[in-house]
A = this chain, B = another copy of it.
Amino acid sequence: MTATKAFAAQSPTSGMAPHTIDRRDPRPDDVAIEIDYCGVCHTDIHFAQNDWGITEYPVVPGHEIVGRVTAVGPEVKSFNVGDVVGVGCMVDSCRTCSACEAGLEQYCSEGMTSTYNGQDRHDHSITFGGYSERITVSERFVVRIPEKLDIKAAAPLLCAGITTYSPLRHYGVKAGHKVGVIGMGGLGHMGVKFARALGAEVTIFTRSESKVAEAKKQGADHVVISTDEDQMAAAAETFDFMLDTVPVQHDLNPYLNCLKHDGTHILVGLLEPVEPPVEAGALVFKRRVLAGSLIGGMPETQEVLDFCAEHDISCDVEMLDINNLNEAYERMKKGDVKYRFVIDMHTLKNG
């Protein structure tokens, strides 16, 4: 085992602070990675604070990890020491169920092993994430970072990026489609970039007039103020897809009404009960679809990185000294980041 310096929360109220954890020695199919950058996802805050009641302390969050390979096990075929690689939201799965065989490890019938706060399938230890000097991960769950990408801005592609890219690809978004993006955060701004790169006409839905300029800056072709009844009436039955990145309960019905017949509303942020309730008639009378989507499988996670390299897409990031992480969490709670904090993990040495 390797003693490793990491940033961890020790309790729901302790805040993030330096901690020493053990990383396993590489197994035959493992890749050992020294971490350079790690994106900060809102999920990290939920786990640090035990908002969902499932946190095992100490918790080392972080599942948007970019670094360099420092060692490989004897069975590793695709990576060599020195390669620039990434690790996203999962580090293992059963590998044999129909989902895993289809490269959709996130839907593994046994449940994927999360990058942090998950349970290792071999030694049953709790997994530690990317707020750390290093991580050791099975080859199948490691992706290659294309040379053309700015590796700092690549980190959030491993969660915010793949989460929005995967459903747009799954549902075949292309030129001629009209896509609405709900929510202007880390996920939303990536959704706009991908939908545009796929050729779609993109509209951002926002509640406030004050955010119109920012929405345009994100690259949207149009902006609809969702609280303006006239604008929403004009948008009725005109969209093929809604990409809904809002992570808190909200009324889906006004957005469903904006979909054409056979239109699809895709939830990627909401995990709670859908309240206020969806009107079944809004689905039945226009054959609309309400769908969910979770990150993406490993082949598609590699694909999104390659797609970003090809289309010159990156996440808008603000670099962060890990010693300022607790303040960053407070800013994120207020939506005060455009659009993703990325921890420069070299600052951990100074902690």
Contacts and interface: CB of A to CB of B under 8 A. Distances in A.
A268 B287 CA distance: 10
Q: Taking the full assembly, how many copies of this chain does it contain?
A: 2
A224 to B, nearest CB: 19
Q: How large is the interface on A (under 10, 10 to 19, 20 to 34, 35 or more residues)?
A: 35 or more
B267 A280 contact: yes
A287 B107 CA distance: 8
Interface in A253-311: 260-262, 267-268, 270-294
A17 interface: no
A273 B267 contact: no
A235 interface: no
Residue in A104, A262, A280 with the greatest tally of chain B CB atoms within 10 Å: A280
B272 A275 contact: no
A267 B283 CA distance: 8
B293 A261 contact: no
A284 B293 contact: yes
A107 B275 CA distance: 26
Contacts of A292: 280-288
A288 to B, nearest CB: 6
A292 B270 CA distance: 20
Contacts of A288: 291-292
A251 to B, nearest CB: 11
B291 A285 contact: no
Interface in A31-78: none
Given A261-B99, A272-B280, A289 B291 contact: yes
Interface string A96-115: 00110000100101000000
B279 A273 contact: yes
Shortest beta-carbon contacts, A-B, top 8: A283-B292, A284-B292, A107-B261, A273-B277, A270-B280, A271-B281, A290-B290, A289-B291
Given A271-B285, A283-B290, 5 more contacts: A267-B280, A267-B284, A273-B279, A274-B278, A278-B290
